[in-house]
Amino acid sequence: MNAIIRNTAKTGTNYTQFESGSLKSWIENSVEIPGLGKVAGKLFLKEQMNLNSCEISINALPPGEGMPFHHTHKQNEEIYLFLNGTGQVQIDDEVLEVREGSIVKITPNGVRTWRNNGSEMLVYLVIQMKDNSLIQWGLEDAEVPEKEVVWPE
Ligand code: ZN
């Protein structure tokens, strides 16, 4: 029997590892959103992983489906990172074509909605973080401790 490891988290002193399962399995997730009811194919990771500087959702949207509303944000920018399929993102009446590998950043005031107009599952991440909150980044934020790289046998 194959063990399916999915939606489980392991926490250590300085990490949390979450198993979201295969991209194909993401459609089995759902969240209850007040006012909208059950939304299929979406899972928020903040609670699952105790994130404290961003919210990430993992998403799967079947062919022919789309968000039935527009939304904006109060203070967070969002990054949509498309991993599979093809679709369209509408921002302030402008329509962007997206596909595997497309990454779209939307500032808080952008009025947005999106749909899957392709024939495959549209699979994507949404990363949400406070607009203008980044103070340092990349190597500027990195430190290199004096520790030899050794892997256990
Ligand atoms: Zn949003």
Give the Cβ contact number of residue 106 at 10 Å. Answer: 21
Instruction: Tell me which of 37 and 5 has the higher pLDDT.
Output: 37
> Could you say which DSSP state residue 136 is in?
S
Q: In what order do the strands lie in the sheet with 86-91?
A: 94-99, 86-91, 112-115
Q: Please report the domains of the chain, with CATH numbers, ordered by start residue.
A: 44-132 (2.60.120.10)
Contact indicator for 98, 86 with CB cutoff of 8 Å: yes
Write out pLDDT tens, residues 34-93.
887 899 999 999 999 999 999 999 999 999 999 999 999 999 999 999 999 999 999 999
Instruction: Write down the mean pLDDT value for the chain.
Output: 94
* Interatomic CA distance for residues 109 and 75, integer angstroms: 9
Ligand 1 centroid distance, CA of 56 (Å): 10
Ligand 1 centroid distance, CA of 116 (Å): 17
Instruction: Tell me which of 43 and 8 has the higher pLDDT.
Output: 43
Q: What is the pLDDT of residue 24?
A: 96
Q: Which alpha helices (H) appear in the chain, and where do they start and end?
A: 46-49
pLDDT bracket for residue 2 (50, 70, 90) = very low
Q: What is the pLDDT of residue 3?
A: 56
pTM of the model: 0.92
Phi, psi at 56, each rounded to 5°: -125, 135
Q: What is the pLDDT of residue 37?
A: 86
Q: What percent of the chain has pLDDT over 90?
A: 88
Contact indicator for 29, 43 with CB cutoff of 8 Å: yes
Give the Cβ contact number of residue 32 at 10 Å. Answer: 8
Ligand 1 centroid distance, CA of 60 (Å): 15
Mean pLDDT for 2-19 is 84
Ligand 1 centroid distance, CA of 144 (Å): 35
Ligand 1 centroid distance, CA of 91 (Å): 12
Given a cut of 80, whether residue 1 has pLDDT beyond it is: no
